[in-house]
Chains A and B, each alone.
Chain A
Amino acid sequence: MTIIGVYNIKGGVGKTATAVNLSYLSAKAGLRTLLWDLDPQGASTFYFRVKPKIKGPKKLARGERDAGEAIKATDYEGLDLLPADFSFRNLDLLLEDQKKPAGRLRKLIKPLEDEYDRIYLDCPPSISLVSENVFLASSALVVPIIPTTLSLRTLGQITEFLAGRELGEMPVWPLLSMADRRKRMHMAVLEHPPANAFETVIPYASDVERMGEYLQPVAEFSAAGPAAQAYQALWQELEHRLALAIT
């Protein structure tokens, strides 16, 4: 099983769209895939039409449910979702009273190892205990950034933060996302991409916005569009990198 964290400190960078489309393509290719919506805003959960469930406060506080019980099948064969409501109820509550809080997520994932080939983590922005958990659990980190100077700064912050942690060889791969070739600054960054960035660039495209309207991954409603094509290329590049990086 390979765990791919999709993360940025900053919000609004196309993070959820990346996680949703990559996990969808992964399942389409026949890999048993789970998308874990760790973001309390629950955008991934919304895209898959899964309704959050409200459970009694007692059960929630005791953290009785394990991840396996909360998983929901999506409309796509081979792709399951762990909804946001599970995450924000269980994770934050449990993180505090654990001895090694940063390893909690890894523990929750452990029983799912045999069930999935790929687990995508759609992470909340900011650096928190949750993101530290993500760093510890992930086999690789995909960091979507908008090609602007400010975004490059946040990338620097992330690498700096990770450098201070013992994370072994976890690769950090920037992904240039929402790129608009009409903008001069975008073009400048695209010409000099950050180290280890994916060759594939996700363009700014209205199809990505329309995911919220169709409640589907882009390839389901606009397979020939530039966004769908870009995600397909990105997924292939990602799998290629994973095969090389993780043995």
Chain B
Amino acid sequence: MTPDDLIRTLAERWAVQEVPGRKVEGVYFDTFDWRLYREGLALFVGREGGEQVWSLMERQSGRILAVCRNDGEPGMASSLPEPMGSRLGPLMEMRRLLPQVPVAGDLRLFSLLNEDGKTVLRLECQESPANLPPLVRILPLRGYEDEALALEQRLREEGAREVCPLDEALAALGRRGGDYSSKLNFALQPHERADLAAKHILLHLLGTIEANVEGVCNDTDSEFLHDLRVAVRRTRSALTQMKAVFEAGAVERYKAEFAWLGQVTGPARDWDVFLLKFEDYSANLPSGFREALAPFHRYLEQHQASDYRLLADHLRSGRFRSLLQEWRGFLESQPSAATTPANAGLSVKEVASARIHKMYRRVMREGRAIGDESPAAELHELRKSCKKLRYLMEFFQSLYPAGRIGGLIKALKTLLDKLGDHQDLQVQAGKLEAMAGEMRRSRAGTQTLLAMGMLIGELSQRQRAERVHFSAAFAQFSQERNRELFRELFRSNKEEVSG
């Protein structure tokens, strides 16, 4: 069916007038991880008569939710024009809008008139390749919503496709919306060889590292570095936890290299964390002191920028490039038959269950040993073990019934959040103290130093409050039902898994 066929059928109910069509030219924007797309939204920024027009749409129907005219560049939420800023800000959080899909084409426009000759509907029509029915978008007119419903019904009967223009544009580029996510989602088979499964997981993590390098080097937004660091930590964890599936020499070498990567990416991330929490920090100060924090903010920005430059140098270095290259070569190579490590040939499920159970026992042991007087370092150790356990469970979750392992991961995440809050507050208070000292030496104003002192006090107080909650959080995690589930899912009868 062509647009003309469609218009002929619609003419039975409405008088149809073709009005001058228009060129569509513009770009769909989204965050790197498709936060708008995932919420069923699409943001199109195009030019109309010399003006830049922002249209926020429902992705599926193309229905316009908000429009504004503004010549600014789409970027961080705080810089967006209204109403886009308040609508998209909570979704975007710290992420920047990036140009995702450029679009250019011709649209035919039609007006549908009622028996009084009044326009009650508008229709956009785009001819589609491959003899598919035309792409149609209904533009309802205010006060004539009933007519739009009638047309929708009619279009469905006629088989016209109401397809998201964004999905169509993506498909033309051979892409899919949401093609980047930092979340892990593997479909492993229980009897798959452990070494092949591990390579599959590690290759995915390598892809995540590679995908984020450019965003880190350009300091596009803080989430690129965050995702890159998480992928590095997961890689290191997988290497340690599944060591006996690969040849020992290789494991040691890559472990050392990824440890280096974790270390050089650390300082830049620390500044990001401070800058992300800055609003929250200053909101907790008496209003008179908020402005006094401005020199501290500048201090953070300067250090963040210079550490990002250093980091970019590392990520462009020969050492980094050859690490990624050799690592990919290693992961894509066939396992050699001559030197098969102890666990390589076992099924992935055996290895996974044994590792998860072992790490779970360590978490329980460490957690139970922590009392109200235990030093913060013990909580820190527990947090590291919990993270390792979480990564393992996330790598291998497709091997276990989703409902059960999902609940356990959630319980573990709750505990981790508590531990994380506690530790972050402690680390931040310590770092703040060091920074205050440095700022004092560089003759920062008294008000600024006072404000920072208040912040340190505030953070330490919050940390103590979190500390009190630990035993309840751990009790919640180690409740009978969870213990049973851990045993049931992961305790293996075989003891030949080494590592």
Q: A65-86 toward B: CB 8 Å interface, digit per residue (1/0)? A: 0000011111100001000000
Q: Is B111 part of the contact surface with A, judged by Cβ < 8 Å?
A: yes
CA distance A30 to B142 in the complex (A): 17
Q: Of the candidates A51, A70, A72, which one forms a contact with B116 in the assembled complex, judged by CB atoms under 8 Å apart?
A: A51
Name the B residues within 8 Å of A114 (CB-CB). Answer: 83
A73 touches B116 (CB 8 A): no
A50 touches B118 (CB 8 A): yes
Beyond A72-B143, A73-B144, A80-B142, whether A30 also contacts B118 by CB under 8 A is no
A65-118 residues with Cβ-Cβ distance < 8 A to B are 70-75, 80, 114
Question: What's the minimum C-beta distance from A30 to chain B, rounded to whole angstroms?
Answer: 7
Q: Is B119 part of the contact surface with A, judged by Cβ < 8 Å?
A: yes
CA distance A82 to B325 in the complex (A): 66
Beyond A49-B116, A49-B117, A75-B119, whether A30 also contacts B143 by CB under 8 A is no
Q: Is B279 part of the contact surface with A, judged by Cβ < 8 Å?
A: no
A215 touches B117 (CB 8 A): yes
CA distance A30 to B51 in the complex (A): 10
B143 touches A73 (CB 8 A): yes
Question: What's the minimum C-beta distance from A63 to chain B, rounded to whole angstroms?
Answer: 19
A70 touches B143 (CB 8 A): yes
Q: Is B318 part of the contact surface with A, judged by Cβ < 8 Å?
A: no
Q: A41-77 toward B: CB 8 Å interface, digit per residue (1/0)? A: 0000000111100000000000000000011111100
CA distance A49 to B143 in the complex (A): 13
Beyond A30-B49, A30-B51, whether A71 also contacts B116 by CB under 8 A is no
Q: Is B141 part of the contact surface with A, judged by Cβ < 8 Å?
A: yes
A51 nearest in chain B by CB position:
B116
Name the B residues within 8 Å of A73 (CB-CB). Answer: 119, 141-144
Name the A residues within 8 Å of B83 (CB-CB). Answer: 114
CA distance A223 to B110 in the complex (A): 23
Q: A186-202 toward B: CB 8 Å interface, digit per residue (1/0)? A: 00000000000000000
Q: B98-121 toward A: CB 8 Å interface, digit per residue (1/0)? A: 000000000000010000111100
A155-182 residues with Cβ-Cβ distance < 8 A to B are none
A48 touches B118 (CB 8 A): yes
A75 touches B111 (CB 8 A): yes
Q: Of the candidates B51, B69, B117, B144, which one forms a contact with A72 in the assembled complex, judged by CB atoms under 8 Å apart?
A: B144
B117 touches A71 (CB 8 A): no
A72 touches B142 (CB 8 A): yes
Interface centre among A72, A75, A215 (most CB of B within 10 A): A75
Name the A residues within 8 Å of B117 (CB-CB). Answer: 49, 215
Name the B residues within 8 Å of A74 (CB-CB). Answer: 119
Q: B109-152 toward A: CB 8 Å interface, digit per residue (1/0)? A: 00100001111000000000000000000000111100000000
A32 nearest in chain B by CB position:
B67
Interface centre among A30, A50, A73, A74 (most CB of B within 10 A): A73
B118 touches A75 (CB 8 A): yes
A82 nearest in chain B by CB position:
B143
Categorize the interface residue count of chain B. 10 to 19
Name the A residues within 8 Å of B144 (CB-CB). Answer: 72-73
CA distance A133 to B48 in the complex (A): 38
Name the A residues within 8 Å of B142 (CB-CB). Answer: 71-73, 80
Question: What's the minimum C-beta distance from A73 to chain B, rounded to whole angstroms?
Answer: 4
CA distance A72 to B142 in the complex (A): 5
Q: A24-39 toward B: CB 8 Å interface, digit per residue (1/0)? A: 0000001000000000
Question: What's the minimum C-beta distance from A158 to chain B, rounded to whole angstroms?
Answer: 33
A49 nearest in chain B by CB position:
B118
Name the A residues within 8 Å of B111 (CB-CB). Answer: 75
Name the B residues within 8 Å of A50 (CB-CB). Answer: 118, 143
Question: What's the minimum C-beta distance from B49 to chain A, rounded to whole angstroms?
Answer: 7
Question: What's the minimum C-beta distance from A47 to chain B, rounded to whole angstroms?
Answer: 11
CA distance A50 to B144 in the complex (A): 11
B150-208 residues with Cβ-Cβ distance < 8 A to A are none
Question: What's the minimum C-beta distance from B435 to chain A, rounded to whole angstroms?
Answer: 43
Question: What's the minimum C-beta distance from A68 to chain B, rounded to whole angstroms?
Answer: 9
B282-327 residues with Cβ-Cβ distance < 8 A to A are none
CA distance A144 to B440 in the complex (A): 71
CA distance A215 to B69 in the complex (A): 31
Question: What's the minimum C-beta distance from A112 to chain B, rounded to whole angstroms?
Answer: 12
CA distance A160 to B92 in the complex (A): 57
Question: What's the minimum C-beta distance from A137 to chain B, rounded to whole angstroms?
Answer: 21
Name the A residues within 8 Å of B49 (CB-CB). Answer: 30
CA distance A48 to B141 in the complex (A): 14
Name the B residues within 8 Å of A51 (CB-CB). Answer: 116, 118
A75 nearest in chain B by CB position:
B119
CA distance A70 to B143 in the complex (A): 7
CA distance A153 to B143 in the complex (A): 41
B14-71 residues with Cβ-Cβ distance < 8 A to A are 49, 51, 69
Name the B residues within 8 Å of A80 (CB-CB). Answer: 142-143
CA distance A30 to B144 in the complex (A): 22
Name the A residues within 8 Å of B118 (CB-CB). Answer: 48-51, 75
B73-96 residues with Cβ-Cβ distance < 8 A to A are 83
Question: What's the minimum C-beta distance from B15 to chain A, rounded to whole angstroms?
Answer: 12
B140 nearest in chain A by CB position:
A73
CA distance A71 to B142 in the complex (A): 7
Question: What's the minimum C-beta distance from A48 to chain B, rounded to whole angstroms?
Answer: 7
B50 nearest in chain A by CB position:
A30
Question: What's the minimum C-beta distance from A80 to chain B, rounded to whole angstroms?
Answer: 6
Name the A residues within 8 Å of B116 (CB-CB). Answer: 49, 51
Question: What's the minimum C-beta distance from A236 to chain B, rounded to whole angstroms?
Answer: 18
CA distance A28 to B288 in the complex (A): 49
CA distance A74 to B117 in the complex (A): 11
A72 nearest in chain B by CB position:
B143
A48 nearest in chain B by CB position:
B118
CA distance A80 to B144 in the complex (A): 12
- Could you show 7 A-B contacts with beta carbons less than 8 Å apart? A49-B116, A49-B117, A49-B118, A72-B141, A73-B143, A73-B144, A75-B118
Where the two chains meet, the residues of A that have a C-beta atom closer than 8 Å to any C-beta of B are 30, 48-51, 70-75, 80, 114, 215
Not counting A73-B141, A73-B143, a sample of 14 additional A-B residue pairs whose C-beta atoms are within 8 angstroms of each other reads: A30-B51, A30-B69, A49-B117, A49-B118, A51-B116, A51-B118, A71-B143, A73-B119, A73-B142, A73-B144, A74-B119, A75-B118, A75-B119, A114-B83
What 4 pairs between A and B have smallest CB-CB spacing?
A: A72-B143, A73-B141, A49-B118, A75-B119
